[in-house]
Amino acid sequence: MNVRKWMKRMVILDLLMLGLLFLIHSREEAAHAALETAGRSAAYADLEVGGQDAAYADLEVGGQSAATGGDGTKRIALTFDDGPHPRYTEKLLDGLKERGVHATFFVTGANAEKYPEIVKRMQEEGHLIGNHTYHHVQLTAANGEQFRKEIISTNEAIREITGEDTEYIRPPYGAWNKRYEEELNMFPVLWTIDPRDWCSDDASCIVRNTIGRVKENDIILMHDQYQSSIAAALEIVDELQEEGYEFVTVDELLFD
């Protein structure tokens, strides 16, 4: 089955999950807004969220707020998951370079090893490279050790290519356990805006779903796996630059 068709069907399941999720008090205020758009899969039916069960008390799902920059600039972070893609990521990098924009790429270890030259180019052009597990594995209550190994394998792949360690991870579907932060020295980066670019081939629709919701210090979640996503991302950059936004990497947004 076509991946996009499958994921569109998953949206229906997402809507069913939303009713339950809105009844759960998140430990972070920003998580409430992100629950409207955070991607889910059917496997979430087996997970407890927000500390309902002591066994899952550290499992976090959803969005994340950004720290306000001290210099008063109107900043925003554009992030891309799942790549690199042999064609679309290169086109995206070309467009970002033309616009003087730095983004954050959460790469899978498998794709990084397939296309190391693209990962190296990301580094050389000033983008931040983060971990998205090796095979895009979602954390569940039963696969903690596999998830840990996926993180380590991807860190090793990135280090082999760039010569540098990565401290940032976007856990697939936003599922995370705080114990990995200390154990693996990894900082999870979630999002505040998800335009669901993976389920639409209409670039203008993706742009509308983003621009109308943007505010200072947002983290935009996109994917560098689709032509429509690349076209939308560059249009979003153009429109927000006209509005005075500066695009920065997530480490700059969260900690500077």
Q: Which residues are catalytic?
A: 81, 223
Left, alpha or beta for 166 (phi > 0: left; psi -120 to 50: alpha)?
Answer: beta
83 CB-near residues (< 8 Å, 6+ apart) = 89, 105, 107, 108, 111, 118, 223, 224, 225
123-152-51 Cα angle (round to 5):
110
Cβ atoms of 55 and 141 within 8 Å: the answer is yes
124 CB-near residues (< 8 Å, 6+ apart) = none
DSSP three-state, residue 141 = coil
Instruction: Based on DSSP, count helices (H) and strands (E) in the chain, helices before strands.
Output: 10, 9
